[in-house]
């Protein structure tokens, strides 16, 4: 990070006392309004090469029995066969309910966990980093860093800010020991903190400032990919906007790609041009921002979007119809057969229990895993996937039929399945 350019950050106050006045709810100011004052929503570069390619990634945690022998009696299927790509210098949002596997996915990518199965390829490295040895992983860790969710527990309370931010420099021997402090001060200034406060402890900073310290630590090795695990969920709305605008500044300045994990759809909409929706360890829909928020085809995505409060709509007395899901999220130890969302889905039929819907590409940059995929209020009455899978309306195999091969990898194809005409079309 010797090429740090601070010219674009001169207007940022170099003080630890960043304005953090909570938003007055009576003013009806939304996150989108606050964030837009700093930057416009991020845009999608369709020609960008992928910096990370994940294919059929799985993570099963063993469940041990009680007693002396401690046998394995089952597995928690936290992540079960997900595929996606993160474009170089771009952002992919990963959203879903708590417990769906978002954070586990982030820890797999940073190799804090070793995957049970699947492949992960980073940049131009052709070797599978999912099962790479620790010795070979060390150079890779300089390029893949993580911003943790909780700014209060992710920083060691017994270490000063200078020791926390400078630790990666010492571990990787990036600079001589006498150059670590100047580099730490430089990074603190980049994230909007007073560089002279390097000798303070985390408890002397507010939540937003602690998250900035975590961001500075993640930037220390000049990574190409940052896994941001709900980096603003513990912050006030006004501080969320400050941190998101800071991340956008850093993304443009240093060409950093983001896997942005969150449950706040307003934050994801502003920061991520592409969004993937997870449910019970599976990606059920992935598309560009306009498609996900305007023309979602999966009933779970539609239910999530209906739960997002609309401040402007509430101010004028309107209210969108809320889609309420019945029942609880099934256990990942024993997930439902077929479609995992079927136990809470109003569209579910017999085929949903027998056949798992593939993550099928239905547009130029739109994939969905649903037998009855369609826009809200226009879902088909019969399964759109039955001809592709060679089954009837109930999911039973049709004698003599030949299933159509479906591309299920992380890449986008020039040919896709049109759910209205039920035929394959080309760009």
CA dihedral 273, 105, 229, 345 (to 10 degrees): 70
When pLDDT is cut at 50, 70 and 90, the band that residue 34 belongs to is: low
Strand ordering across the sheet containing 117-122: 72-87, 50-64, 117-122
Can you tell me whether residue 410 is helix, strand or coil?
Answer: coil
- Say if residues 279 and 340 touch (Cβ distance below 8 Å): yes
pLDDT tens digits along 319-337: 567 888 888 889 999 999 9
> 158 pLDDT exceeds 70?
yes
Q: Which of 212, 216, 145 is nearest to 187 (CA)?
A: 216
Look up the pTM and report it: 0.86
Q: Which run of H or of E encompasses 188?
A: helix 180-190
Tokens 């993304």 belong to: 251
When pLDDT is cut at 50, 70 and 90, the band that residue 128 belongs to is: confident
> 133 pLDDT exceeds 90?
no
- Weakest mean pLDDT among 13-22, 303-312, 321-330: 13-22
Query: How large is the average pLDDT for residues 101-111?
Result: 94
pLDDT tens digits along 258-295: 999 998 888 899 899 999 999 999 999 999 999 999 99
When pLDDT is cut at 50, 70 and 90, the band that residue 38 belongs to is: low
When pLDDT is cut at 50, 70 and 90, the band that residue 138 belongs to is: confident
Domain with CATH 3.40.50.300 in the chain: 7-16+39-64+72-279
Per the model's pLDDT, the better-predicted residue between 199 and 37 turns out to be 199
Q: How far apart are CA 177 and CA 108, in angstroms?
A: 31
- Weakest mean pLDDT among 83-87, 186-190, 238-242: 238-242
In whole angstroms, how far apart are CA 233 and each of 44, 200, 240, 244?
Answer: 24, 24, 8, 11
- Of the chain, the percentage scoring pLDDT greater than 90 comes to 55
171: which residues sit within 8 A by CB, 6+ positions away?
Answer: none
Q: Which of 195, 211, 272 is nearest to 243 (CA)?
A: 211
- Which two three-digit tokens encode residue 70? 């401690």
Q: Exposed, middle or buried by CB within 10 Å (0-12, 13-18, 19+), for 419? A: buried
Q: How far apart are CA 254 and CA 373, in angstroms?
A: 39
pLDDT tens digits along 223-234: 999 999 988 887
Spell out where 274-388 has E strands: 274-279, 282-288, 360-363, 366-368
Query: How large is the average pLDDT for residues 355-366?
Result: 94
Q: Which of 338, 335, 336, 369 is nearest to 352 (CA)?
A: 338
Q: Which CATH superfamily is domain 7-16+39-64+72-279 in?
A: P-loop containing nucleotide triphosphate hydrolases (3.40.50.300)
What is the average pLDDT score of the chain? 86
pLDDT tens digits along 367-406: 999 999 999 989 999 999 998 999 999 999 999 888 887 7
Q: Angle of helix 207-219 relative to helix 237-254, nearest 10 degrees?
A: 20
């Amino acid at each position: 990070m010797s090429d740090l350019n601070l010219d674009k950050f001169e207007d940022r106050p170099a003080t630890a006392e960043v304005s953090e006045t909570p938003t007055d709810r009576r003013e009806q100011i939304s996150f989108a309004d606050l964030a837009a004052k700093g930057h416009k929503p991020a845009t999608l570069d369709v020609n960008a090469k992928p910096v990370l390619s994940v294919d059929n990634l799985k993570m099963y945690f063993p469940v041990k029995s009680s007693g002396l022998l401690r046998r394995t009696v089952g597995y928690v299927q936290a992540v079960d066969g997900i595929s996606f790509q993160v474009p170089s210098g771009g952002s992919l949002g990963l959203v879903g309910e708590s417990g769906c596997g978002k954070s586990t996915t982030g820890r797999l990518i940073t190799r804090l966990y070793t995957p049970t199965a699947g492949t992960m390829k980073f940049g131009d490295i052709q070797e599978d980093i999912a099962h790479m040895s620790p010795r070979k992983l060390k150079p890779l860790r300089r390029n893949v860093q993580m911003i943790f969710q909780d700014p209060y527990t992710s920083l060691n309370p017994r270490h000063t800010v200078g020791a926390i931010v400078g630790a990666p420099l010492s571990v990787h021997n990036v600079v001589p020991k006498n150059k670590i402090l100047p580099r730490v001060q430089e990074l603190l200034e980049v994230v909007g903190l007073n560089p002279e406060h390097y000798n303070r402890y985390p408890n002397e900073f507010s939540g937003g400032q602690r998250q900035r310290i975590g961001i500075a630590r993640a930037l220390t090795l000049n990574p190409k990919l940052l896994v941001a695990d709900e980096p603003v969920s513990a912050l006030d709305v006004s501080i969320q906007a400050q941190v998101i605008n800071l991340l956008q500044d850093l993304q443009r300045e240093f060409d950093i790609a983001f896997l942005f994990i969150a449950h706040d759809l307003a934050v994801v909409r502003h920061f991520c041009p592409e969004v993937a929706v997870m449910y019970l360890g599976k990606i059920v829909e992935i598309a560009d921002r306009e498609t996900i928020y305007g023309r979602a085809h999966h009933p779970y995505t539609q239910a999530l979007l209906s739960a997002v409060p609309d401040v402007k709509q509430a101010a004028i007395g309107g209210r969108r119809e809320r889609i309420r899901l019945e029942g609880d999220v099934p256990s990942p130890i024993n997930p439902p057969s077929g479609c995992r969302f079927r136990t809470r889905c109003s569209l579910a039929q017999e085929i949903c229990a027998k056949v798992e819907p593939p993550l099928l590409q239905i547009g130029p940059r739109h994939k969905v895993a649903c037998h009855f995929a369609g826009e809200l209020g226009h879902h088909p009455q019969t399964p759109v996937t039955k001809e592709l899978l060679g089954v009837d309306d109930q999911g039973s195999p049709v004698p003599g039929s030949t299933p159509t091969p479906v591309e299920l990898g992380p890449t986008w194809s020039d040919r896709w399945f049109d759910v209205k005409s039920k035929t394959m079309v080309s760009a």
